Amino acid sequence: MAWWRWWRADAPLLSITRDTGSGPVVVMIHGIASSSVTFLHLVPLLEKTHRCITIDILGFGDSPQPDGATYTLDEHAAALDRTIRSLGLREPFTLVGHSLGSLIAARYAATHHRQLDRLVLVSSPIYLPPAVLGDRLDRASMGAYFSVYEYLRSNPRFTQRTAAALAAIAPIKNVLEVTERNWVPFMLSLQNAIESQTTLADLARVRVPIDLVYGALDPFLAPGGLAIVQQLRHVRATRVSGVAHIVRPTLAKAVARVIEAPPARWSTANGA
């Protein structure tokens, strides 16, 4: 067991890649096989009215890859917690997570509601065991995701070559990286944080308003999981037509509008 898991205060400090602007604080964390470049189009839309802080998640970008880390959601969230505490923020802030970052953000928010004023989840891959889904098509769709991810984990050469080809045509430079350098964080985060997630249970414990923003063409969103999350009474969903998974300008504008708008009203009656 990794030494820093015994004491959350000793979890690794993550790389704070950008801290710009002034006003209400917005902390942003990216997804798997990426870095804070994910928010290239979002930060400029907010930094005139908000303090924007971007953080590389554990094992990716400029953040550390600790010996013995297994990259569970708990480990990712513990590192995020220590890094946020190091900032000395005095007021509740908005936490934005993209893709895997949204799952980490949900885990953090489930136990840190006093630190937050809202949670914004972007392009969230929310998966459930296929057996719990009643709809046959939803079960088949969910099962397909797990099969694909298992194949990617089991075939590093194929996965790295495919990622390199996709990165070459990606709309944001360096937004996708799966190489020998980050293979272990990628493989373990996929297995222990995305495939083994309990995000639905985490979201049910969150006690601040939640905004879910996603593209209508996002291939990583499982309809069954997405539908269940949208039924939670404290979740407000924004579906953006014509966009997929990456935070390109259209999706960035939609996320910025959500952040700039008043959060959904919250009361104890909203609890799941």
Provide the residue type at 169 as one letter.
I
Q: Residue 183 and residue 33: Cα distance in Å, rounded? A: 9
Bridge partners, 235 (sequence order): 210
Question: How many angstroms separate the first and last alpha carbons of the chain?
Answer: 34
- Could you tell me the mean pLDDT of each successive run of 10 residues in the chain, 272 residues long? 51 97 98 98 98 98 96 97 96 98 98 95 94 86 94 98 96 96 98 95 95 97 90 91 97 98 66 36
Q: Residue 11 and residue 213: Cα distance in Å, rounded? A: 30
For residue 135, the model assigns a pLDDT of: 83
Q: Rounded to an integer, what is the distance from CA 42 to the centroid of its chain?
A: 15
Is residue 205 within 8 A of residue 110, CB to CB? The reply is: yes
Summary count for the chain: helices (H), strands (E): 9, 7
Whole-model pTM: value is 0.94
